[in-house]
Each structure stands twice: as C-alpha cells, then as structure tokens.
Structure 1
Amino acid sequence: MRILLTGIPSYLQRTVASVSGAEVRHRPYFDEIRTKSELIEQVRKIANTGNYLIGEGAAYCLKAHDVTYVPFWHLARSCKSEDVYERLNQEFDICVFASANLLRPGYSADLEAEVFGKLKMPVVVMGIGIQRKEGLKEKLPSGTLKFLDVLKHKESFFLTRGYFTAEFLREQGMKFVRPTGCPSLYFSPAGMERSLAALANPELAHAQKIAFGGYLGSVADTIVDAHALLKPTSVASYVVQDELVAYNLSLPVDDDAPAYDKASGRITGATSYKHSEKWQRDHELMVFFDTNQWRNWIAAREFCFGRRFHGCIIGMQAGVPALMIAVDDRMREMLEFVGFPYIEAATWNREVDKKAYLANFLSKIDTQAVIDRYSACETNFRSALSHVGL
C-alpha cells in the first residue's frame, strides 16, 4: 500500500527542504532555534506544538506501509498543476489526512475541498473533530460544507475524535464513520497504560515536579493551579504550545536577541503576558519542537496537570500520570470517548481547597476500568485501520 500522508505533520516536517511533484526532499538537520524571531517562526510553522503529536500518531500507525508525508501546503499550491496531480495519482494508492478540530464555525476548508477534489484515490480523514458544539450545524462555513460534499461523493473514511463528530458526519451523509479518538492516543500504548495505572494515587496532589499546561497570556488559571499545588520553594514548569502566536505571550526583546535554549527547551528571553504579575512561585517556560525531547523532559516529572489535551497526552506516552481539566467541547469529546478521568474547569476553578479536592478525586479512580476502556479503544482503532486496509 503506497500511502500519501498529509495534513497535520509530525515534528519531522521541520526537515522538509523542498517538494516537487510527488517527491519530498529532507535536510539531514533541523533549523537553528536561538533568537526571538527563530523561536516564533518555529511555533508559527505548526501553530500549536501539541499538533506534532497528532501527526506523529497518524504516521506511526501506518509504519507497516510505504508512507510518504507530503506537506499540505504543497498540495494546495499545486492545485492548478495537472502534472503534479497526475504524478500524485499515479504514485499513491490512498491518502491519509491527519486532522484535528477542522469542523468549526471559524474555519472554512476551501483548500481541503479543492485538494481532495483533485486526488483520484480513497481518502482517510483521521482524527477529525469539532471545536465547539453550539451552532455548529448552522454556522459551518461554505468551504467546509463543500469539503464534506467532495468526500461524500468519493471513497472516503472518517475516523473521528469522538461520538458527537461521528454523529454529525453521519447526518451529513458520510458512509464510513467510526469514532476512534485522536491517533496520538495509540502512539505508545504501554506508556499510556503505565500512566493510567499510576493515576489513582492521592499523593500526586502533593507532587512538586509537575508539568503544567494552559493558556498563559489569556487567563490566570494555570498560575492559580500552580500556587494551589506547589510549595513556595518549588519551581513551576509550564509548557508553551501556541501562546507565542495565539495568546499574546510576547518576548519584549529584539528579534535577533537570544531567547531560547535548544538543549533544555527553555525560553530564556524576557517574557510579557497578561497576569504574569500574579506569579508567586519561581517558574520556567518550556517549548519543544521535537516530541522525543518533550517526552524525555516530561518523563522526569512526577505528574502532568493542566488544561491542554496533548500537553498531558505526551506525559502519558512517557508513562507519567496525568489529569486534565476540561475547558471546552473538543477536550470533552476526546476525554469522554477514551474514558480518561478528568475534572470540569468550572468545578475545579471554584474549589477553595484544591489540593484536598484533587487528592479525593484521585483516590476514587477505578484504575482497572480506565485501563480496560483504553484497551478497548485501542483495539477499536486497530480494527478501523484494518477495515480500511491500513
């Protein structure tokens, strides 16, 4: 099976030097990241570093086949070239499109509609999900409706992040739809199970080496969380995903000033963001562009806790216990599908004694039931791939 993999990439996309027709040339090195401008440029390339886990999971599950990652930007730029698409249609048997929250009112999938209209092969849309349930059916942009119409009229398969997305796509007339969860869930099953087995431990509420994630620059929630759980002498470790481009976490230094230490993954330049004055703990801001480096760093943490799905999933891949605070519909859909324990943000935010609440919550987790549910989801994912021929 010759697979054209596109859409959300793994971190290896950073080595793509050029693409011509169906040929992708990779450099044997990564770009340098040291200055403010280099740091921001790397974040912009993926928009959210958590996306690297989606692309990595999608690629990894296809490793038994002949897989070529073709950047989606190349497919989009080549839409007017009949020669390029003739070559692509000759070279590949099937296209796998790694996706995320594509179904949302604020995004019109016009380019996706054009690209998949020109690919004359079956298409597997992997990991597709919603951003927000409210008003989705009425507010979905015309480009996204066209994208769905294109796929409805060709051989296509949808592996969704959860049940609501699956129901929505069936209502739109899609023939093969199966909820499977995000592909990042199945990159390291052994690590995920170790993480789940270690979660029902109330002592984690007293952990001091915690990997935090959230939305610095927008809300102060994660700062409040760190103060509630960490001793005054502890250092809060916060992992940045897209705050540099989406949530006004800025670096008030010159563009060519040193701002990032690649070896440690730490932002070293001065930072400025809303609510930063509220910190009452020493803290470090980390950002990773290599998922292996991210996993190696997070493996040394005792606990992952936060409001970012993939910021916790990567900890689970490394076997570290992780608990998420559900802040929106996309997180709820993914968490409810796979059956991971989680706390609603509204509930957690109003708790006065957060440490006691967390310890009590952890003590009540049914470890075996959670592991069994995860195992069943993994089996379902492998079964869906097998059905498609992957």
Structure 2
Amino acid sequence: MRILLTGIPSYLQRTVAGVSGADVRHRPYFDEVRTKKDLIDQVRKIANTGNYLIGEGAAHSLRGNDVTYVPFWHLANSRDSGDVYEHLNREFDICVFASANLLRPGYSADLEAEVFDKLKMPVVVMGIRIQRREGLKEKLPAGTLKFLEVLKKKESFFLTRGYFTAEFLKEQGMKFVKPTGCPSLFFAPSEMKRSLASLANPDLAAAQKIAFGGYLGSVADTIVDAHALLKPDSVASYVIQDEVVAYNLALPGDDDVMVYDRASGRITGQTEYKHSEKWQRKHELLVFFDTNQWRSWISSRDLCFGRRFHGCIIGMQAGVPALMIAVDDRMREMLEFIGFPYMEAAIWNRETDRRAYLANFLSKIDSQAVIDRYSACETNFRSALAHVGL
C-alpha cells in the first residue's frame, strides 16, 4: 500500500526543502530559531504547536507502510497542473488526510474540495472534528459543503475525534464513519497508561513542578490557577502554543532581537500580554518546535495541568499525570470519547480552595476503569485502520 499522507504535518514539516510532483526533498537540519522573527515564523508554519502532535500521531499510526508526506500547500498550489496530479495518482494507492477542526463556520474548505476532486484514489480523513456545534448545519461555508460532496462521491473513510462529529457526517450521507479519537492519543500507549495510572493521587494537588497550558494573552485563568496551586517561592512553567499569533502575546522590539534559547525552549526576550501584571509568582514561558524536546522537558514535571488538550496529551505521552480543564465543546467531545478524567472550567473557576478541590477530585478517579476505556479506544482505532487496509 503506497500512502500519500497530507494535511496537518508533524514537526518534520520544518525540514521540507521543496516538492516536485510526488517527490519531497528534506534538509538534514531545522531552521534556526533565536530571534523574534524566527520564533513567530516557526509558530506560523504550523499555526498551533499542538498540531505537531496530530500530524505526528497520524504519521506514526501508518508505520510499517510505504508512506510519503506531501505538504498540502504543494497539492493546493499544483491544482492547475494536470502533470502533477497524473504523477500523484500514478504513484499512490490511497490518501490519508490528517485533519482537525475543519468543520466550522469560519473556515471554507474550497482548496480541500478541489484537491480531493483531482486525487483519483480512496481518501481517509483522520482526526476530523467539529469546532462549534450550535447552528453548524446552517452555517457551514459553501466550500466545506463542496468538500463533503466530493468525498461522498468517492471511496472515503472518516475517522472522527468523537461521537458528535461522527453523527453529523452520517447525516451528510458519508458511508464509512467511525469515531476513533485524535491520532495523537495512540502515539505512545504504554506511556499514556502509565500517566493514567498515576493520576489518581491526591498528593499531586501539592505538586510544585507543574506544566501549565492555556490561553495566556487572552484570559488570566492560568495565572489564577498557578497562584492557587503553587507556593510563593515556586516557578510557574507555562508552555506557549499559538499565543504569539492568535492571542496577542507580543514580543516587543525589532524582528532581529534575540528572544529564544533553543536548548531550554525558553523565551528569553521581553513579552507583553493582557493580564501579565497579575502574576505574583516567578514564571517562565517556553515554546517547543520539536515534540521530542517538548516530551523530554515535560518528563521532568510532576503534573500537567491546563486548558489545552494537546498541551496535556504530550505530557501523557511522556508518562506524566495530566488533568485537563474543559473550556469548550471541542475538548469535551474528545475527552468524553476517550474517557479521561477532566474538570469543567465553570466549576473549577468558582472554587475558593482549589488545591483542596483538586485533591478530592483526584482521590475519586478509578484508574483501572480509565485505563480499560483507553485500551478499548486504542483497539478501536487500530481496527478502523485495519478495516481500511492500513
């Protein structure tokens, strides 16, 4: 089976030097990241460093096959070239499209519709998810409706991140739809189970080496969390994902000012963002462009805690206990599908003694039941791939 993998890439996207037809050339090194411009450019390349986990998980799930990652931008830029698509259709047997929040009112999948109309092969859409449920049917852009129509007419398989997305796609007439969860969930199953086994420990509420994640630059929630859980002499470690391009976390100064230490992953330059004056703890901001470095750093933490799904998943991939605070329908759909313990933001935010509440919450987790649910989901994911022939 010769697989064309496209869509959300892994961090190896950073080594792509060029593409011609179905041939992809990679550089043997990563781009330098030291200056303000370097850092922002690298974040923009993937838009959200959590996406690195999606692309990595999708690619890893296909190991053992003949897989070539072809950047989606190449497929989009070549859509007027019959020669390129003739080459692609000759070289590959199936296309796997790593996806995320494609079904949403604010995004029109016109390019995806054109690309998949030209690919004369079966398509597996892996990890697709709805971003917001309310009024979705009435608000989907024409390009996205066309994308669904194109896939309805060919042999296509949808592996969704949860049940709601699966039901929506079935209502649209898709023939093979199976909820499987995000592919990042099954990248390191042994470590994920170790993480889950260690979460039911009320002593974690007193942990001081915590990896925080959230929406710094938009709301002060994570700052409040850090104050509630950390002692005054502790250092709050916060991992940035897309805040520098999406949530107004600014790096003042000229483009060539040095702001990043690549060895530690720490932002060393000055930062400006809403609510920064509320900090009452020493804190460090980190950002990673290599998932292996991210996992290596996070393995030194005692707990991952926060409002970002993949910011906690990568901790679990390193065997570190992680607890998420659900802030929207996207997180709830994924968490309810996989069965991971989580807290609702509205409830957590109201608590006056958060450390005590967290300890009580952790003490009630049934680790074995959670691990059994995860194992069943992993089996379901592997079975879906096998059904498709992957």
What is the TM-score of this pair, normalised by structure 1? Answer: 1.00
Alpha-carbon distance between aligned partners in 2 of 1:252 and 1:179, rounded to the nearest angstrom: 43
Shift of 1:172: 0.2
Shift of 1:355: 0.4
Q: Deviations over 1:147-193 (max 9, x none)?
A: 00000000000000000000000000000000000000000000000
Secondary structure of residue in 1 paired with 2:96: strand
Residue identity over aligned pairs, in percent, reads: 85
In the alignment, what sits opposite 1:200? Answer: 200
Gaps of 5+ in 2: none
1:365 partner amino acid: I
Deviation readout 1:276-304 (Å, 9 max, x if unpaired)? 00000000000000000000000000000
Return the alpha-carbon distance in structure 2 between the equivalents of residues 20 and 260 of structure 1: 33
Where does 1:5-16 land on structure 2 (aligned, <5 Å)?
A: 5-16=5-16
Q: Does 1:188 align with 2:188?
A: yes
Asked if structure 2 preserves the Cα contact closer than 8 Å seen for 1:157 and 1:176, the reply is yes
Which residue of structure 2 aligns with residue 47 of structure 1? Answer: 47
Q: Which residue of structure 2 lines up, in the alignment, with residue 371 of structure 1?
A: 371
Specify the alignment match of 1:156 in structure 2. Answer: 156
Letter in 2 for 1:149: E
Q: What amino acid is aligned across from residue 253 of structure 2 in structure 1?
A: V
Structure-2 separation of matches of 1:225 and 1:138: 37
Deviations 1:340-360 (A, max 9, x none): 000000000011110000000
Would you say 1:142 and 2:139 are equivalent positions?
no
Q: Any runs of at least 4 consecutive aligned residues in structure 1 with deviations exceeding 4 A, and if so which? A: none
The amino acid that maps onto 1:137 is K
Could you list the runs of 5+ residues in structure 1 that have no partner in the other structure?
Answer: none
State the Cα deviation string for residues 186-245 of structure 1 (Å, max 9, x = none): 000000000000000000000000000000010000000000000000000000000000
8 A Cα contact 1:253 1:269, kept in partner: no
What is residue 351 of structure 1 aligned with on the other side?
A: 351
The CA distance in 1 between the partners of 2:204 and 2:143, in whole Å, is: 46
SS of alignment partner, residue 199 of structure 2: coil
Q: Separation in 2 of the partners of 1:213 and 1:25? A: 34
Q: Equivalent residue for 1:38?
A: 38
Aligned residues: 390
The secondary structure found in structure 1 opposite 2:349 is helix
1:305-349 deviation digits (Å, cap 9, x = unpaired): 000000000000000000000000010000000000000000000
**Matching residue's letter, 1:116:** F
Per-residue CA distance 1:19-43 (angstroms, 9 max, x = gap): 0000000000000000000000000
Mean Cα displacement is larger for which, 131-140 or 229-238? Answer: 131-140
- Are the aligned partners of 1:6 and 1:69 in contact in 2 as well (CA < 8 Å)? yes
2:315 aligns with: 315
1:99 pairs with 2:99: yes
TM superposition shift of 1:253:
1.5
Instruction: Find the counterpart in structure 1 of residue 218 from structure 2.
Output: 218
The equivalent residue for 2:123 is 123
| Letter in structure 2 aligned against 1:255 | D
How far apart, in 2, do the equivalents of 1:274 and 1:118 lie? 45
SS at structure 1 position matched to 2:106: coil
Aligned position for 2:65? 65
Kindly state the Cα deviation for residue 378 of structure 1 after the two structures are TM-superposed: 0.0
Q: Which amino acid aligns with 2:56?
A: E
SS in 1 for 2:89: helix
Deviations 1:247-302 (Å, cap 9, x if unpaired)?
00000121101000011000110000000000000000000000000000000000
Alignment partner, residue 332 of structure 1: 332
**Aligned mates of 1:207, 1:134 — CA distance in 2:** 38
* CA RMSD of superposed structures (Å): 0.3
Is 1:79–1:115's contact at 8 Å kept on the other side of the alignment?
yes
Q: Within 1, Cα distance between the matches of 2:148 and 2:311?
A: 30
Aligned counterparts, 1:255-270, within 5 A: 255-270=255-270
What secondary structure does 1:88 align onto? helix
Q: Specify the alignment match of 2:293 in structure 1.
A: 293
Query: TM-score if structure 2 supplies the norm length?
Result: 1.00
Are the equivalent residues in 2 in contact too, given 1:251–1:270 (CA < 8 A)?
yes
User: Does structure 2 conserve the Cα–Cα contact (< 8 Å) formed by 1:238 and 1:286?
Assistant: yes
- 1:204 and 1:136 map into 2 onto residues whose CA distance is 39
Question: Which letter maps to 1:67?
Answer: V
Give the corresponding residue for 1:26. 26
Instruction: Please state whether the residue corresponding to 1:305 is helix, strand or coil.
Output: strand
Structure 1 counterpart SS, 2:258: coil
Taking the aligned partners of 2:259 and 2:2, their CA distance within structure 1 comes to: 42
